Structure 1
Amino acid sequence: MTNVVKKIGILILIAAASTTLLHAQDTGKELYKTYCAGCHGAQLEGNSAAALIKSEWKYGRSRGAMIQNVTYGIPDTEMSAFGNVLEEKDVEAVVDYIISVQDTPPSEDRPIPSQVETDLYTLQIEKMAEGEIETPWGITFIDEHHALFTERKGTIRQLVNGKLDPQPIKGVPPTQELRTGGYMDIAVDPHYEDNGWVYLAFSYTPYDMEDDNARAMTKIVRGRIQEHQWTDEQTLFEVPDSLLVRRGNRWGSRFLFDDKGYLYFSIGDMARGEASQDIGQAPGKVYRIHRDGTVPPDNPYARQPGALGAIFSIGNRNVQGIDQHPETGDIWATEHGPMGGDELNILKKGANYGWPTITYGVDYDGTVVSDKTHQPGMEQPVVQWTPSIAVCPAKFSDSPLFPEWEHNLLVGALKFEELRRLVIQNNDVVDQEIILKDYGRVRDIEHSPNGVLYVLLNNPDMILRITPK
């Protein structure tokens, strides 16, 4: 008798949930007719604005991205903010209705093709480690047969001859995987064959790693890997306890060894924009150090009392891609804006890139961060992306396999799920080609020593191996 009662109860709950879902869809449909149909068409077929029955979602295909777009609008487009008109539950109902009438749910993973046609190449794509890894973040090559990569949860893994080594590296430092924190970039020393050093960036607290309120900051270390064991760890950059922050977000952190052997790394603004302008605080900067962690004496603030001597540039909201131009030697960096205002910059020693005093973006709640886009003494971006594509990795193409892409800059996007090729002439971007779109969040890009292109994807988590046909 008890089991019968339980089954009846479950059926009642299922029926109630179905009724609630249908009611929400009806509500969303009516709200759509009232607020959206005039522009997007009664059947979502498009009118003065784009059709909403589609397979490609330029401004993000996740439910969260759609809710954000409806609530706050899309900068530099005709999409208005409806958060001032509709309650949160009503916005969600409209979005759920739009999703429900799609032929293919936009959040579903799109199958990645084995070949993609681009302007200059037919690309062959091989999927690696699919379903075996979790949120890969950064990748570096020891040689053409061995690569190391990080998973944000706090692991270092290996690819050996294109296959995932099932055994992670043991003894790695603990990390605080909260919000956007965790393991970030990884790099090998320019003289790795002689010294074996591996460099790692991660979010760290000396307190309880599971405490969301623990004071923390990005930390840079190096160590060696011997027989799957992390050893000989040395701390290269760590701020004192007084400079740690609570509930930080936007940690950075991307590595670059330049042609002189300096190590560059970034720390995001940690959701503390004003700190980006303070040379006595860590957030919102790009740093330059020697490989052993010492500060170059010609760093802009190396001798200034109260400043962090490792600082190279300030006013950087969240640099997630950095590379050196193979011909000019300039350091280029991609930087997350808020909602709009992603930037591509040429980094200069001691320069101020403006965040949050100047910006082309608005905050995620639609409020104005700054009414200024220019100010004397602050750098302008080479390119700014509004709406924000959530620009992430950056890699100049110098591969012998892709001679037609020589000195082009490859950049990845998280929200827009893109791999782009930027053509640069005289420090200007004169063309942008979208190579991949809507196959996953592009987290990192790297060439192997023999020129093969590797792309790290999140959602779905995998590594793509790309060669020209």
Structure 2
Amino acid sequence: MKAIHSLLSIICITCAACAQQIESEIKAEEPKTVDYKTESVVADISIPWGMVFLPDGSMLISEKTGELIHFKNGLKVNIENLPEIYVRGQGGLMDLELHPDYKNNGWIYITYASPKGENEGGHTALMRAKLDGNKLVDKELLYKAAPNTKKGQHFGSRIEFDNQGYLYFSIGERGERDVNPQDITRDGGKIYRLNDDGSIPEDNPFVNLENAKTAIYSYGHRNPQGMAKNPFTGAIWIHEHGPQGGDEINIVQKGKNFGWPVISYGINYSGTSFTELTEKEGMEQPLFYWVPSIAPSGMAFVTSDIYPDWKGNVLVGSLKFSYLERLVMENGKVIKREKLLEGIGRVRNVRQGPDGYIYVSIEGKGILKIIPGN
């Protein structure tokens, strides 16, 4: 594979309580890992946003245009009785996640753009339901952001559970850069935390503040489209789109302000600046940031022995440059980048399956499995 010749600035923090930043530049290197190949698992999906693996080995896949697909024994079956979905721009049927105790309770969690509520347009919603044959049943709306808007950008959205069973999900700032992210009385540009039934945890950071959206856990985000639990620490990691430059990886922390759009390492798409600040007291620095932007989507930690050279690394999809990025971690810092699957297409998601293999969803293709060489 070709080397990436552009330089990348990063900021690394060694722990959540540490305020010291270390700035360095990283150049992507030629791959030094074993050869690998890809195998098509599920073909012909336009925008495969979310994917989860059921206990019987089958998969649920969300197609952004509004189809929930059950893939089993080589066959794709569309699930019926979905909620009404607002498909516009970046909005549609988005992420999927299973309850940690899915084998016993059967709960499936789904984020999607919903038209319900006041005003025309839509906004991100979170629901849960169960699967009965090829139909969703016991549907429960757990959260619906407001107000609706016809804008087509920045719905988010990803879902993750932590080790204590709390449910996290992301909503982008819906194109309202100067209104939503810094205002905890408004939805958008936030990471939310709920109990698994949709109720608000008593220790959420803003439960006692008047008019605050009490589901908010952190704020000052732009458009998080990657979220994963760090299996080594239990922390929730996210990445989010910057504008032109300034895509970030952040570790979610209770009540913290991650700065958008007051501080940023990016600029407007026109090339003009919207802020002169890259840091400010009371606002968090990213663990890592990309310049230029790669348009990240999907995130997975590698724990599988199938990929010994990748173990402990973080995988992130690149929509903009059509590859899967491997971030080599050491002592909580990114020390190396590597392009995988270069030219494969817009990588929408990546997950490690229960069989230990890495599965990657590619727009216009479907789901691929990465198989190491001998």
**Partner residue of 2:306 out of 401, 412, 416:** 401
Counterpart in 1 of 2:324? Answer: 419
Instruction: State the alpha-carbon separation in 1 of the partners of residues 105 and 82 from structure 2.
Output: 19
> What's the TM-score once normalised by structure 1's chain length?
0.71
Counterpart in 2 of 1:322? Answer: 227
Counterpart in 1 of 2:193? Answer: 288
Secondary structure in 2 matching 1:443: strand
Report the alpha carbon displacement of residue 75 of structure 1 after superposing the two structures with TM.
11
> What's the TM-score once normalised by structure 2's chain length?
0.89
**Partner residue of 1:160 out of 61, 72, 80:** 72
Amino acid at match of 2:295: A
Does structure 1 conserve the Cα–Cα contact (< 8 Å) formed by 2:158 and 2:170?
Answer: yes
Note closer, same or farther for the CA distance 1:379–1:138 as it changes in structure 2 (3 Å cut). same
1:339-350 → structure 2 map (5 Å cutoff):
339-350=244-255
CA RMSD for the aligned pairs?
A: 2.3
Note closer, same or farther for the CA distance 1:441–1:450 as it changes in structure 2 (3 Å cut). same
Instruction: State the alpha-carbon separation in 1 of the partners of residues 152 and 324 from structure 2.
Output: 28
Identity %: 38
Does structure 1 conserve the Cα–Cα contact (< 8 Å) formed by 2:117 and 2:148?
Answer: no
Matching of residue 134 in structure 1 with residue 46 in structure 2: yes
Does structure 2 conserve the Cα–Cα contact (< 8 Å) formed by 1:144 and 1:448?
Answer: no
1:29-428 → structure 2 map (5 Å cutoff):
118-130=31-43, 132-143=44-55, 145-161=57-73, 163-165=74-76, 167-206=77-116, 214-239=120-145, 243-274=147-178, 275-428=180-333
Any unmatched runs of 5+ in structure 2? 10-29
Does structure 2 conserve the Cα–Cα contact (< 8 Å) formed by 1:58 and 1:416?
Answer: no
Counterpart in 1 of 2:27? Answer: none
Instruction: State the alpha-carbon separation in 2 of the partners of residues 160 and 400 from structure 1.
Output: 26
Instruction: State the alpha-carbon separation in 2 of the partners of residues 153 and 57 from structure 1.
Output: 35
Note closer, same or farther for the CA distance 1:76–1:255 as it changes in structure 2 (3 Å cut). closer
Instruction: State the alpha-carbon separation in 2 of the partners of residues 57 and 175 from structure 1.
Output: 41
- Decide which structure has greater helix share: 1
Instruction: State the alpha-carbon separation in 2 of the partners of residues 216 and 321 from structure 1.
Output: 21
Secondary structure in 1 matching 2:181: helix
Note closer, same or farther for the CA distance 1:144–1:339 as it changes in structure 2 (3 Å cut). farther
Secondary structure in 2 matching 1:128: strand
Deviations 1:70-99 (A, max 9, x none): xxxx9999xxxxxxxxxxxxxxxxxxxxxx
Instruction: State the alpha-carbon separation in 2 of the partners of residues 56 and 451 from structure 1.
Output: 27
Amino acid at match of 2:298: P
Amino acid at match of 1:271: G
Report the alpha carbon displacement of residue 158 of structure 1 after superposing the two structures with TM.
1.7
Which fold has the larger relative contact order, with Cα–Cα distance below 8 Å and residues 6 or more apart in sequence?
Answer: 2
Amino acid at match of 2:93: Y
Counterpart in 2 of 1:9? Answer: none
Instruction: State the alpha-carbon separation in 2 of the partners of residues 407 and 302 from structure 1.
Output: 36
Instruction: State the alpha-carbon separation in 1 of the partners of residues 367 and 4 from structure 2.
Output: 23
Report the alpha carbon displacement of residue 150 of structure 1 after superposing the two structures with TM.
0.1
Note closer, same or farther for the CA distance 1:217–1:156 as it changes in structure 2 (3 Å cut). same
Instruction: State the alpha-carbon separation in 2 of the partners of residues 75 and 355 from structure 1.
Output: 23
Q: Which has the larger radius of gyration?
A: 1
Amino acid at match of 1:123: Y
